Amino acid sequence: MLERQPRIALLIDADNSPASKIDVILAELAKVGVTNIRRAYGNWKKQSLKGWEAVLHEYAIRPVQQFDYSKGKNATDMQMVIEAMELLYNDAPDAYGIISSDSDFTPLVMHLKAKGAQVFGFGAKRTPMPFVAACSRFLYLENLGEPGVDEAPASKAPRRRRKSGGGDSQAADSTDVADVAEAAPRKLDAATLRQDARLVSLLRNAVESAMGDDGWSSLGAVAQRIGNQASFDSRNYGYRKLIDLIEATQLFDMERRGTNYALRDKRTVKVAPS
């Protein structure tokens, strides 16, 4: 009998996302479960979606047509939200993957998580922080895989701006799809990492909450605490593994214990008097 795997529904804002990263996105979701629902939303009469048309059959993605009822209104976003809610109450996926750089999906993500589903977000680095923070985990497309052969340099690629229907999201949600073709992310150095107050606080709080009687915290427990606190992935800082990012901050003592690591905040170490 086959073991049941977590079921994932992947919803793609094709108007606001590049097709060139779909293979690595599906590979990421495969680490969590099986993506048995795959839908891409947009006005398929637009030339800008030709890139998505080329991969729909290859990756078994169902296109969902949504006409632009009026200029500047996000009819595609509304259709995605409606179908996400239908899936939630009719099919109850264990998790969702949402590919978009649009903060309009933030309330949807919060609702899905409140109902017990995990939400994995994928978008460009200019994605507004409310959407990034709302996801169970968010990965920047620039940090996934290698630049594809069909991706032109950012300075030459055609640029398309997403228009919003108004409100404070109009400027924040203007997403240049060509920007995901930037060079691979560099690893941030210790000084830069320590200047990120949110990162430092997140790591220190996780290490402290996972601390055992001996004053050390296991890496596995720290990773779990981080996942419970916020949307986080070490690759957004240029490091493939959490342990490499933690080591790079130079804020913690590290000790190898078998196949695992133990961590300790350097501030807690008391220096014996000479």
**CA nearest to 12, candidates 137, 102, 139:** 102
Can you give the pLDDT at residue 71? 58
Residue, of 208 and 85, whose pLDDT is higher? 85
Domains of the chain and CATH, by start: 7-181 (3.40.50.1010), 190-268 (3.30.420.610)
pTM: 0.64
Higher-pLDDT residue of 269 and 53 is: 53
Residue 134 pLDDT grade (very low, low, confident, very high; cuts 50, 70, 90):
very high
Residue 242 — very low, low, confident or very high, per pLDDT cuts 50/70/90?
confident
Task: Give the strand order in the sheet containing 95-99.
Answer: 62-65, 34-42, 7-13, 95-99, 118-123, 137-140
pLDDT score recorded for residue 69: 58
- How much is the mean pLDDT over the chain? 79
Q: For position 43, what pLDDT does the model report?
A: 87
* Residues in Cβ contact with 28 at an 8 Å cutoff, skipping those fewer than 6 apart: 120, 122, 139, 144
